[in-house]
Every structure is written in C-alpha cells, then in structure tokens.
Amino acid sequence: MLEQRQKQAKRTGLPELLNAEKGKVVLRFAPNPNGPLSFGHARGIIINGEYAKEYDGELILRFDDTDTSVKPPMLEAYDLIQKEAEWLLGFVPHRMVIASDRIEHYYQYVEQMLNGGFGYVCKCSAETFREYRVSMTECPCRAYSNLENLELWQGMLDGSFQPGEAVVRVRTDMALKNPALRDWPALRIQDTETNPHPRKDIGSRYRVWPLLDFQSAVEDHLQGVTHIIRGKDLMDSTRKQKLLYEHFGWTYPETMYWGRVKVHEWGGFSTSQMRKDIESGLFEGWSDPRLPTIASLSGSGIQATALRNFWIELGVTQKDIAVPLATLYSHNIKIIDDDAPRIAFIREPIALTLEGVNETIVELPTHPNTTGLGTRKIQLHDAVVYIEKADLQHKTLRLKEFGDFDIEGNTARFVAKERTDKRKIVHWTSKNSSVDASLVQVIDGEICRLDGKLESHQLAVNTPVQIERIGYGIISGDNEITFTHD
RNA sequence: GCUCGUGUGGUGUAGCCAGGUCCAUCAUUGCGGGUUUUCAUCCCGUCGACCCGGGUUCGAAUCCCGGCACGAGCACCA
C-alpha cells in the first residue's frame, strides 16, 4: 500500500486509528444509564462503532452505573439504550458490560493497590482535601502503612464509616502541576440503604462504589480495550488513569477526543434536567419531539443512517462547535427522498364539489422520480375533493396530476385534463380517499396537532414520507403524521 | 488562580505531523439560474476563510516564539 501523499484531496471518512491492527481493535461506549440516549451520545456510539466496523474489531457497550445518588441509574434505560444503540449502529454491540455487576472485580484491584502501596484510605473531608490539593500539601492519611490501609478498607466495606468519612485515593504526587491529578479519589461510600441501586440484584448490596476514573480504568484493562475515543472533557481522566496504569504496570489504550457540540436550535440539555422536566410534566416523555433524545429524533423521522453520516462528517476534531440542524436534515433528505412516498395532507380543508368530471378514480404517481413505487388511486365516487383553504384565494387552480379547474363558491368546474395555462398547481385529496388525521409539528417550542384530511394509505408506522408542498414527515399512527423537517 | 486543549469562508470539514504541486478541499447555508403537474428532489452557477504579531526559509495555512480569543478540567458526578 504505497499510497501517495495527496494534497487537496478530501480525506473521506474517519481518520485512521493509531496503532490499530485490523481484527484486534476493541472500543467501547460507556453511557450512564440515568436516562435513554440523547443526540450527543449518538456521537460516542457511532464513532466508536464505525471504527469497530472499519477495523473488524469489537464494540463494547458498557453501562457506567456506579452512582446511586447524584445521577442515579434509571432501570428502564438499560433496555432502551441497548435498543437505541442497535438502531444507531445498525448492528448489535459485540459485548455488554454493566459496571454494577463487576464491583467484586474492582474490589480485587483496590486490594492490590492498597497492598502495593499506591493507594490509600483517606479520612479527610472533601473540603479538607481540597485545601491540600490547592496548597500541594500531602494529606496525613498518606502515612498509613499498607496494613493499616487494608484495615481501613475493611472498615469502609463493613460499615464503620459513613458516606463522606472515608475514600480510597490513588497515590500520585501532590506536587503535580495539574491539580486535577493530585491523589485523585478512586472509590467512595454511598448510602445505598436510602438510595438503593435500581437494579434488583444490586440494590443495597454494596456500600463502597468506584468512581468513574477507577472503574473505567480497571474495566478498560479487563476488557482489553485498545482505543478510547471520547470527549475532550475527559482529557484529565486519561491523565489520571494513566497514572494508575503505571502503578499497575499496564499499558494505556490509544486515545482520541472530540470537542463540545452545541446545536443552535436546542441550547443546553442534560439527561438529569430532562428527567426532572419529564417527571414534572413539562414534556410528554423521553420521545417528546421537543427533546434532543434519540427516541425523539427517531420518532420524528430522522433516520439512523442520517445520524451516522452526520457524525462521521463532523469527525473527531477537538474543536468546540455549534452546528445547525439544517446539516442533519440535509443528510436525512439524502437518505429518504428517493424512497419516500408522496402523500397529501390538507390543512384547513375546504370541500369542493366537482362539476364536469366523469372519472371516478384518479391515479397519481407515488413518487415523481422513483416510478417503482407505483401509483396512488384516489376515489371520486362522491365527486368531492378537499383543498387547503389558503389555496382558495386563487379562482383558477390545477389539482395536481388531475386537471385544471375553475372555482366558483363550493364547486370546482372541470376545465381540462392537460394544462391550459399557468394556473397554480395545488395538492388535494378526495372525500372518498381521505381520513381525518393530525399533523404533529413543533412550532415555537409547542407541540401542535393540526387537524386535516390525510390521503388514505397503507403505509406502516415509521415510514418516512414526503408531505406534498409541506415537507418531510413520518407516519406516526393510524391517523397521524409527524412532521420531520422541510 | 492552576492545568489542559482549540483557533481555516455564515456553519462544519480537508490540508498542518513529513513547508512549495494551496491565488486552499468537500459539504451545508445564502444568492442567482435550470429541470419538474409539490413550496420537494435533482442539476448548474455564484458569494465566501488560513486569529493577530514577529521569526526561520528562496518559499509558511503548514515549522518556531510571543500575544489574543474561546472552551474544558481542578466533584466523595459520569
């Protein structure tokens, strides 16, 4: 593979992984199951998943559910996330790990750390230690012997300490330039009697829980993770974990980071905040179309492939960026347009009686360019059609794929089959071939259900469609269609 | 404050490590036009950028130094 250096040629796809051998790459995506996946999570799962695919490697879906009080896990999220992950990836993650199932493993490494003297039990309060950290002072607890540490550790396990009274720290160096790395905390005590873990098997079984940096570091090693790709907010995590790896004599995986992404139209959302807002009734649920969740996006017609293309295009740069939704929409249109059946939805329908029409059925193409999608047959036995009120301002109209008509009051007099002039072309449907339905759309932060007449169809729920002269949408119920985007 | 990171058109992105072939790629958006029995799709055209200042060099978006701006971490959250 003597690839010539090509300048000015757009590199396509994701950049190459460093030190990656095809077939031996192990990546992971590790969400906190304190809610279902949101837009930002999609980046993590898609980028890691794409690399796993590209390198014939493995992707681990890991639930980092080690906090029971600040961001407590949500029981339903475990299943939801697995389904959403599969939807986003287009394949099932190769392995699944739940941190709360692995506490005993983490304990083994704590003991190893204490025995090795590179960790210690610290009885200082968080505030006291903060002062030590700022002033680069060694904490007195650093002086405990390995034996004392092991005893204190037992004390943490058996309930001799209350939450906040003792933590296990990784011994680094209080003189480290980066304050974040100084003797960082590895495990703490949680009151799991008051705040049990939501998983039945776990519940109140453990009092001592690892913190992210310890849990993640040990688990990455146990799973043989070779590459970690995550947000740059976790850069200091990498540095902390590298110090631990050095203590254990392990080799740290290759790392890559991406910057912060904001979507102009959404502003700031956090899983915890959404959870509160849903519980307080501000939103209808996790799939509320106003929320930036995967459930919301898929429910309103965004395709997984569009999301994949979108995130792959953004790549893994460390820049903090703000993207407009238009970019995602444009990807979505590319995915769906060729196969999206055209369908009529009449807003503020006005019934017109046809005059001078003999046929009882009109056949129009399901898709103007994709003839393979066949035709739609509109029944006209009652000779009544619906058009939008707004179109009534014109007294001469062309009903699309039907004919030219002159409008007088509530009658539409047939003029000609072919075009006779440049009169406006409008979409329409008939009384016989339509149903009462709603168009669900978010307007100015409100969910609007606009009643109207929807052309009868046999399309399955979740079929993306193009709503003539309105935009793209998705069949979201028997008599409901949800607007996706223009 | 300390630590770390990032600065390419309106928005993203390629190029930067290995300096010239870069009057800078591609996409998206805007604008203009074309096709079209949808205000869709598609096609064509067009506007538009290397944070600033020095330095090295025949030559700098690319290397060096210094500014500035923005962001993140410094949680017994993930």
Strand B proximity: list residues 387-426 of A with CB under 7 Å: 388, 390-391, 398, 400-402, 417-419, 425
The pLDDT confidence band at residue A4, using thresholds 50, 70 and 90, is: very low
CA A291 remoteness from chain centre: 11
The string of pLDDT tens digits covering residues A389-434 is 999 999 999 999 999 999 999 999 999 999 988 899 999 999 999 9
Assess whether pLDDT exceeds 80 at residue A439.
yes
Q: Count CB neighbours of A404 within 10 A.
A: 20
Does at least one atom of strand B sit less than 7 Å from the CB of A95?
Answer: no
DSSP string, A6-27: -TTPPPPSSPPPTT--TT--EE
Sign of CA dihedral A454, A459, A460, A463: negative
Q: What is the pLDDT of residue A165?
A: 95
When the pLDDT of each residue in chain A is averaged and rounded to a whole number, the result is 93
Q: What six digits make up the tokens of A292? A: 């930036």
> Domains in chain A, please, with CATH?
102-210 (3.90.800.10), 342-393+427-485 (no CATH)
Assess whether pLDDT exceeds 80 at residue A177.
yes
Strand B proximity: list residues 272-311 of A with CB under 7 Å: none
Token pair 């209080």 is found at A174
Q: Average pLDDT of A451-471?
A: 96
The CA–C1' separation of A236 and B4, in angstroms, is 7
Q: What six digits make up the tokens of A159? A: 């309930």
The string of pLDDT tens digits covering residues A189-215 is 999 999 999 999 999 999 999 999 999
Higher pLDDT, A469 or A10: A469
Nearest nucleotide relative to A124: CA against C1':
B76
The pLDDT confidence band at residue A99, using thresholds 50, 70 and 90, is: very high
Q: What is the pLDDT of residue A265?
A: 87
Assess whether pLDDT exceeds 50 at residue A40.
yes
Nearest nucleotide relative to A185: CA against C1':
B76
Assess whether pLDDT exceeds 90 at residue A91.
yes
Cα–Cα dist A382/A19, whole Å: 71
Q: DSSP code of A460? A: P
* B29: residue with closest CA to C1': A326
Assess whether pLDDT exceeds 90 at residue A11.
no
The string of pLDDT tens digits covering residues A305-321 is 999 999 999 999 999 99
Give the list of residues 6+ apart from residue A238 with CB closer than 8 angstroms, or none. A228, A252, A255
Assess whether pLDDT exceeds 90 at residue A38.
yes
Q: Average pLDDT of A19-25?
A: 93
Assess whether pLDDT exceeds 60 at residue A88.
yes
The CA–C1' separation of A158 and B31, in angstroms, is 72
Cα–Cα dist A93/A391, whole Å: 51
Which strand B nucleotides have any atom less than 7 A from protein CB atoms?
Answer: 1-8, 10-16, 18, 20-22, 24-29, 36-42, 61, 70-78
The CA–C1' separation of A314 and B53, in angstroms, is 32
Q: What six digits make up the tokens of A475? A: 């069949």
Q: What is the pLDDT of residue A104?
A: 97
The CA–C1' separation of A230 and B53, in angstroms, is 35
Question: What is the complex's ipTM, to 2 decimals?
Answer: 0.94
* B77: residue with closest CA to C1': A70
Cα–Cα distances (Å) from A456 to A51, A231, A317, A348, A383, in that order, read: 43, 47, 47, 17, 16
The pLDDT confidence band at residue A326, using thresholds 50, 70 and 90, is: very high
Does at least one atom of strand B sit less than 7 Å from the CB of A337?
Answer: yes
The pLDDT confidence band at residue A5, using thresholds 50, 70 and 90, is: very low
Q: Average pLDDT of A99-105?
A: 97
Q: What is the pLDDT of residue A192?
A: 95
Cα–Cα dist A483/A475, whole Å: 9
* B71: residue with closest CA to C1': A320
Strand B proximity: list residues 12-71 of A with CB under 7 Å: 15, 30-32, 64-67, 69-71
Cα–Cα dist A275/A273, whole Å: 5
Give the list of residues 6+ apart from residue A395 with CB closer than 8 angstroms, or none. A406, A407, A408
The string of pLDDT tens digits covering residues A237-270 is 999 999 999 999 999 999 999 999 999 888 778 8
Nearest nucleotide relative to A369: CA against C1':
B41
Tell me how many degrees the CA angle A403-A406-A410 measures, rounded to the nearest 5: 110
The CA–C1' separation of A351 and B68, in angstroms, is 65
The CA–C1' separation of A352 and B10, in angstroms, is 46
The string of pLDDT tens digits covering residues A213-225 is 999 999 999 999 9
The CA–C1' separation of A226 and B60, in angstroms, is 37
Does at least one atom of strand B sit less than 7 Å from the CB of A7?
Answer: yes
Q: What is the pLDDT of residue A334?
A: 97
User: What are the helix (H) ranges across A212-346?
Assistant: 212-223, 235-248, 271-279, 294-299, 304-314, 325-336
